[in-house]
Amino acid sequence: MTSKASITATQLMMLAVGSSFMFPYTFMPILNAPPANQDVWLVLLLSIVYIVIMCSPILFIANKFRGLTVNEITEVILGKFAGKLASFLFVLLFLFCYAACLSMAAIFVKIAIIPETPTWAFIAFAVVPISYATYKGAGTIGRLATFIVPFIMFTIIIFFLMGIPQIDLKVLQPVFADSTFLDINKGALITSSRLTEKTIFLVFSYFLIKEANINKTFIKALLLYNFFYALILLPTLLVLGVDLAQNAFNPYFVYTRQVHGYDFIEKVQALNTLAWFPGLMLKLTLYNFMGCYMLSGIFKMKSHKSFVIPFSVLAAVFCLIPAINKADIILTLASDQIFPWIVFPFTFVLPLILVIVYLIRKKKLDNILQYIKQHDLSSQCLLLENFKNDGNK
């Protein structure tokens, strides 16, 4: 396995928040989630509850098996074969997310920014830095997040403040009248299902320094994410209006195009792109890393590095398939009917199965965990073999 890098709680928080920003920043799916009207901000508020619920299995496992890699956790809980299968399912999720997000980014770039640039060129220039950062490992990705994410946050705050004079609060009226509680819950469920960043806590908790508390980091990340999501959503909604925002391919980009101040600050949407691109790189790097890292665990490789380029090539090939490289296909893929329901089984159901199996085999697994703690072991090979040997004795 890869030699263990360490990341701080702040780095983990920045990773999760920065990666989560990219969906609202790119195409803001919450606008079209039920009830798809002026009450979407209520959906955002309620989604906090759903995210906590959906993340609880992952957090439970991450806390319980702290110090083990995600591959080790799955194999300890489910056994060797089922554990590898579960790990492989996670790999498929990361590959899908990597390819899907790369496709969405390519389509956005082609529609709104540089339409004459061929998709392959964009993908090639994106995949190289992504692969390089992935190659460098978790520590580098964590440090990268502490540079990129504050800059994204800074642009969000600036765009929010500069958009205030154009805000029309009447857009939010009537509040909770055109939608039912069920609609809001449906929207919150879909919005939180879409969040693949829950898995970051599962994979990266292994790299987290001992002093850091996973739950606290998660709560801070969740609040920060929702706060900044609100700073993205509200001005977009209040300046563009519900219908125009819903109809725009990239509502936040359209909003930033309206921002102007005094007589000289105008056409500042370039700042949006300037923050969006590294943010996207970070998100894709995370998927690439998590996929490669888990693959290396499945195949008992010393390092994830040998999987980095094949993983990127696979994703790039997927994006370049002519049948997929179309705006309507990508929109369907990213829609509420497809994307959340692909992600949901991997980010909630699979971890929930792990929790249930753990609870069934609690006694045995607790013994293993105690053994690990006593012997300060972290490698699965050592863990299982030593435990078996000790058991035989």
Partner 1 sequence: MSKKLLVILECILILALLTGCWSRKEPKNMSMVNSILYDLSPSGETQVMIEVMHPTGEGKKAGGSTGDTGSGDGASAPMPLVFEGKTVAEALRNLSKNQDKELFGGLNQARIFSEKLCKQGVGPILDFFARDHMTDETPLMVVVNDDNPKRIYTCSTGMSDMLGNYLSSLSDTQQKITCEAVFVTSLQFFKDYYTDGQQPVMGLVRIEENTESTNGDQDQPQKPYIIYEGLAAFKDDKLVGYMNGIETRDYNMLTNNFKITAISVPYGNDFIAVIVKKANSKINTELQNEQIKINIKIKAVLTIIQEYGSIDISQREVIKQVEQEFNEFLKSEIEKTIKKAQNEFKSDIFGFGRFFHAQHPKEWQKIQENWDEKFSKAQISVNVESSIIMEGEIKIPFTMEKKVNDK
Task: Return the number of the residue (5 or 112) whose C-beta is nearest partner 1.
Answer: 112
Nearer to partner 1, 28 or 189 (CB): 28
What residue ranges bind partner 1 (CB under 8 A)?
111-118, 121, 125, 170, 173-174, 177-178, 239-241, 243-244, 247-248, 254, 257-258, 260, 266-267
* Shorter beta-carbon distance to partner 1: residue 41 or 88: 41
For the bound state, the minimum distance from the C-beta of residue 38 to partner 1, rounded and expressed in Å, comes to 10
Q: Which of 150, 165 has the CB closer to partner 1?
A: 165
State how far the Cα of 188 lies from the Cα of 221, in Å rounded to an integer. Answer: 18
Compare residues 111 and 314 and give the one whose CB is closer to partner 1: 111
What three-state secondary structure class fits 208? strand
Please say which residue, 177 or 223, places its beta carbon nearer to partner 1.
Answer: 177
- DSSP secondary structure of 2-36: PPPP-B-HHHHHHHHHHHHHHHHHHT-GGGGSTT-
Shortest gap between Cβ of 131 and partner 1 (angstroms)? 14
Tally the C-alpha atoms within 13 A of residue 178's C-alpha that lie toward its C-beta.
13
- Give the Cβ contact number of residue 305 at 10 Å: 16
Decide whether 38 or 192 has the Cβ nearer to partner 1.
38
CA distances from 201 to 15, 56, 272, 287, 351 (A): 10, 11, 28, 13, 12
Q: To the nearest whole angstrom, how small is the minimum distance from the Cβ of residue 7 to partner 1?
A: 27
**SS3 for 265?**
strand
**CB of 246 vs partner 1, minimal distance in Å:** 9
Would you state the torsion angle of the CA atoms of residues 241, 246, 249, 251, taken in this order, to the nearest 10 degrees?
40
Go through 119-157 and write b for each residue having 16 or more CB atoms within 10 A of its CB, e for each that does not: beebbeebbeebbebbbbbbebbbbbbbebbeebbebbe
Residue closer to partner 1, measured from CB, 132 or 341: 132
C-beta of 173 vs 392, nearer to partner 1: 173
User: Per residue in 191-204, is it b (16+ CB within 10 Å) or e — as a string?
Assistant: bbbbbbbbbbbbbb
CB 348 within 8 A of CB 93: no
Q: How far is the CB of 113 from partner 1 (least distance, A)?
A: 7
Q: CB 15 → partner 1: shortest distance, Å?
A: 26
Please tell me whether residue 242 adopts helix, strand or coil conformation. helix
Rounded to a whole number of angstroms, the minimum distance from the CB of residue 117 to partner 1 is 4
How near is the Cβ of 318 to partner 1 at its closest, in Å? 22
Task: Please report how close the Cβ of residue 44 comes to partner 1 at its closest, in angstroms.
Answer: 21
Question: For residue 265, what are the β-bridge partners?
Answer: 261
Distance of CA 44 to the CA centre of its chain: 16
How is the chain split among helix, strand and coil, in percent rounded to 5?
80, 0, 20
Between CA 259 and CA 59 the distance in angstroms is 40
Nearer to partner 1, 170 or 210 (CB): 170
In angstroms, give the least distance from the CB of 175 to partner 1: 9
Q: Please, are residues 86 and 78 in contact by the beta-carbon 8 Å criterion?
A: yes
